[in-house]
Chain A
Amino acid sequence: MFRIPCPYCGLRNASEFRHVGELRTRPDPQSATPAQWRDYLYGQRNVADWSVESWYHTFGCRRFVSVERHTVTNEARPVAEAPSAGQTAPGSASADSGAPDADSTS
């Protein structure tokens, strides 16, 4: 089970959270076209990459938190520390990085 950095509670098991979905902006309800609204409701980017998501800390502080998660490795990191979305960070805050670093055996 992967862990999510909650800005209020620290690193917690993902099972404490409800996955709300990809973080998205609500279109202007006055000017949105049906296509735009439908995309807001149902369109998912579904990238195999870093994705900015909203999670609700149901069994914790009950705050909606924004987290950047890599959808392939399930690494999760606070949005604030992340570079712009969709871009892989050179060094990660997570302990479970799949990327090799200085003290790996290789």
Chain B
Amino acid sequence: MNARPHRRRSTGAPPDSARLAPQPGEVIDRNRSLPFRWNGERYVGYDGDTIASALAAAGVRVFSRSFKYHRPRGILTASYLDPGCTVQVDDEPNVRAGARSLVAGMDVRAQNAWPSLQFDVKAANGLVAPLLTAGFYYKTFIKPQRLWPAYEKVLAQFASGGRVSEDTVPGYYDKRYAHVDVLVAGAGPAGMAAALAAAEKGARVMLVEDEVETGGSLRWGGAGERATLHELRAALAAAPVEVLVDSVVAGRYDGNWISVVQRGLPRVEERLVKVRAGVLVAAPGLIERPYVFAGNDLPGTMLGTAVRRLVNLYAVRPGHRAVVLTANPEGDAVVEDLRRAEVDVACVLDARKGEDVRRALGRGGLTAVEVADGRRIDCDLLVTSVGWTAPTSLLNMAGDRPWYDASAARLRPSDDLPDTVLAAGGIVGDGTVQELVAHGRAVGAAAAARAGFGTAAAPAPLPVRPHPALFRSSTHGLVDFSEDVSSKDIIDAAREGYDSSELVKRYTTATMGPAQGKLETVNTVAVLAEATGRSIEELGTTVWRPPYAPVRLGALAGRKFEPVRVSPLQPWHQAHDARPLVAGQWIRPDHYGDPAAEVRRVRERVGVIDVTPLGKLDLRGPDVPKLLNAVYVNKWSKLDVGSVRYGVMCAEDGVIMDDGVTGRLGPDHYLMTTTSTGAAAVWEHLESLLQTEHAEWQVHVTPLTTAYASINVAGPRSRDLMSRLVEGLDLSAKAFPYMRVRTATVAGVADCVVWRIGFTGELSFEVHVPASYGLHVWEALLASGGDLGVGPFGVEAQRILRLEKGHLIVAQDTDGLTRAYDAGLEGLVKLDKADFVGRPELVWQQQRGATARLVGLQPVDGSLVPAEASQVVRDGQQIIGRVTSSRMSPTLGRSVCLALITVDAAKAGSLVTILLDDGRPIEATVLAEPVHVDPEGRRLRV
């Protein structure tokens, strides 16, 4: 804790302490300085820097504190996966500093450190590490259970990631569809060559690269690699290949549906590209594997590829005095890079000759290395290049199961892939740059051929060179850097019986951190193999699942495309202070200020309501009666032209599905209405019958819900009002009685459909007006009825009115188990019809008798309105049903309810108990009919 890392006082720009002289492959623009802040102090980097490289160039070594033990962490991989380089940037937490390009003005802060990066109180966790062993959550904080909220509060402090500001404005996320013949994932030498070869064959090609530039390992290679890189880039620029950099192939799904997340776009946070690819070429290359030994997470200990990136791309000297452990040619190349970067290479340990490190020493940062032979070498940089992990994720998503090749000491893809997926490059095998390019070209040509462009020979597999198997030294160190899981934890877990790859993963959380196993999977399995005496082959690895890299939820959600439906009368409603009610996709007027007054207006004078969302289906053809007989439980064969009937639809299980009225407008012409919410489902239901069961019926169904604006004119004075606007139609009770339908001209609008029906229980006329004239007719109704006391009413008033009248609402007063007889519809169901949808179930229900009953309930104390869904109980506790609808009735001055209760409690006049929200029981009387107002129906028949 007292080992202070290098830090520069903020006296303007800090000196470029670790920046080297220009390097041949560097990607920074030294003419463009970018000022930024790190933990509040001013720093300067260059355009082209990542946040991590800019900080490293300024001499910063400690970037974060680790997740569990709050150990100081520095650069490990200098890439997207770097577990120690997760930082807060402005309002954005969990930014990968190893990959995020530096932008002028960034406010970068360390995460997970309190009160400061240098002095972290929580690092005391390191002292109690023995208590925080594998599965400590499962063991330590279990008992007593009542203390869990306290534990949770403290643990949440320790496990904090970044900060999310509540003021953050959500960014703009985008989506795009793409259709390509060949998609190449990874723009290293093999991927670039594959894209070029496929394009030469004429295929449409997309090349996707996770980093900000194409090139892969060529970028940080020597002169030969750079020459090849320039050739490939020039060829790509001239080829018809769409190249997406700073983009990641996140997943591969059925039918080569591939999700690509594109970053770094102007004014777009992230874009999700949904690609349908003929053939996918997976060329992700290899990921360097960390080595497990004591102190392997000390700042100053890093991988060979991290050094090569820092030196060659960003001209950063990674240390002053180095020890290198190498097991492969790439590790040998690190030594060359270090010498060029003026780093004093104190010792090169060749793992191929059995040389090894034992532990890294230092507090807060590396100060020395203890070698296997016991030597102690002072240094501030320890580089390991001990092996590779093949990121086979995309291939696994296509069905491949990786297998462990012991001679190469890495997992390799099997050949168990569909024809539409190919692998290329380092994931397949090893080779020189030229061999990788040749292999990539062969795979690209084969991919184009499979997508239908030319012919190509099957690509020859790349050879795989032997590699020593190095996973853990003689000491214990971290296996999972993101989750702070050590090799000791894994061995302990195995001892406790968690001895398979999947169990160890879940118990220790190894591989479950942000790196998602790309750094730590193989070491986890290798240590487990050591602990259990089994081989890596036997244990196998865990399954890689999408996404390949973390994806922001915003990218998946995209922009909000939620349709909102409003009636053509909506401008009037808005201008008249209608309170909106969201009903599915519809926005409707709930009321205009006083629903009780609206109810009284309808009962005493006349009101108008916008019922446009009502489902309307135009049915034409000679076989419409057959269709109606099939979908409704009642009979429809003898409906005269101009007549209307109420009908209830059940599904094949006898459960009530929808209700509404249907009128016959002409010999072969009917208009069906459905509930507002059921409009789409009923249409589909009719189509299902007409397309599958009864393809021989001649019926054509046209949905007209939004083709008409629908207005219900209700109240004792509705006829007076209508007569002022209707032309060519006698509105008298004799000429146009209840349950009839006519077409007429209303307020000068021809071809309106006028119905005499009434959901409210009052004399009422429902007018369906061609939609574009809806507002005109609505305004005409209100303008010409001032002396009659006309006014608008909303959905709330209508619900009260219909409840007073006892009209049920499907899916409110019924549920997914309510069959026709439960709702008291025995008068409607006609079992003498040979068949209709749901008939067999209703036959059996009629034989057995219904178990539930929809009844009207009258609370004894009429001032109490039990909330909807209140329980109805017997003997104080046995639930026998629930209140489905309840309101205070302005007409009766007392509360009215509908309830669905068991049949044996539904006897008229009997008392039941309703439990109020606060648990208080109240008494209510069961009514003979579920009707509170005008049971005889006189008011609507006048």
Contacts and interface: CB of A to CB of B under 8 A. Distances in A.
A37 B840 contact: yes
Interface in B444-463: 446, 449-450, 458-459
A47 B652 CA distance: 24
A62 B254 contact: no
B419 A29 contact: no
B419 A64 contact: no
Interface residues of A, number: 30
Q: For A30, A40, A58, A105, which residue has the most chain B Cβ atoms within 10 angstroms?
A: A105
A103 B419 contact: yes
B255 A1 contact: yes
A46 interface: no
Interface in A28-81: 29-30, 32, 34, 37, 40-41, 54, 56, 58, 62-64, 74
B418 A98 contact: yes
Interface in A12-26: 13, 20, 26
A84 interface: no
B418 A2 contact: no
Contact of B692 (A54, A100, A103): A54
Contacts of B458: 103-105
A83 B524 CA distance: 48
A30 B254 contact: no
B672 to A, nearest CB: 17
A29 B422 contact: no
B420 A62 contact: no
A64 B690 CA distance: 10
A13 B257 CA distance: 10
B255 A3 contact: yes
A29 B840 contact: yes
Interface residues of B, number: 31
Given A26-B693, A64-B692, A41 B653 contact: yes
Contacts of B105: none
A96 B417 CA distance: 11
A87 interface: no
Given A1-B253, A37-B840, A54-B692, A97 B419 contact: yes
B256 interface: yes
A29 B255 contact: no
Contacts, number: 64
A64 B691 contact: yes
B100 interface: no
Given A41-B653, A95-B420, A62 B840 contact: no
B841 interface: yes
A104 B256 CA distance: 16
Interface string A89-106: 000000111101101111
B171 interface: no
A54 to B, nearest CB: 7
What is the predominant secondary structure among interface residues of chain A facing chain B? Answer: loop
B572 interface: no
A105 B839 contact: no
B835 interface: yes
A96 B692 contact: no
B801 to A, nearest CB: 35
Nearest to A23: B692
B779 interface: no
Interface string B238-264: 000000000000000111110000000
B688 A64 contact: yes
Contacts of A1: 253-255, 257
A64 B653 contact: no
Contact of B419 (A41, A74, A104): A104
Contacts of B449: 103
B141 interface: no
B684 interface: yes
Nearest to A104: B419
Nearest to B257: A1
A3 B634 CA distance: 41
Q: For B253, B254, B835, which residue has the most chain A Cβ atoms within 10 angstroms?
A: B254
A49 B874 CA distance: 51
Contacts of A104: 419, 458
Contacts of B257: 1-2, 13
A96 B420 contact: yes
Nearest to B843: A29
A30 B653 contact: no
A3 B420 CA distance: 15
Contacts of B256: 96
A95 B421 CA distance: 12
A2 B257 CA distance: 8
Given A63-B691, A98-B399, A105 B418 contact: no
B834 interface: yes
Given A64-B691, A95-B420, A96-B256, A30 B652 contact: no
Contacts of B459: 105
Q: For A30, A56, A103, which residue has the most chain B Cβ atoms within 10 angstroms?
A: A103
A3 B415 CA distance: 24
B844 interface: yes
A96 to B, nearest CB: 5
Q: For B256, B415, B693, B840, which residue has the most chain A Cβ atoms within 10 angstroms?
A: B840
A30 B834 contact: yes
Given A2-B257, A64-B687, A96-B254, 13 more contacts: A1-B257, A2-B254, A13-B257, A29-B835, A62-B687, A63-B691, A74-B254, A96-B255, A96-B418, A96-B420, A98-B418, A100-B419, A106-B415
Sorted nearest first, the 6 A-B pairs with minimum C-beta distance are: A2-B254, A1-B257, A64-B691, A74-B254, A105-B458, A2-B255
26 contacts: A2-B254, A3-B255, A13-B257, A29-B834, A29-B835, A29-B840, A30-B834, A30-B835, A34-B840, A34-B844, A37-B840, A37-B841, A56-B684, A56-B688, A64-B687, A64-B688, A74-B254, A95-B255, A96-B254, A96-B256, A97-B418, A100-B419, A101-B419, A103-B449, A105-B415, A105-B458
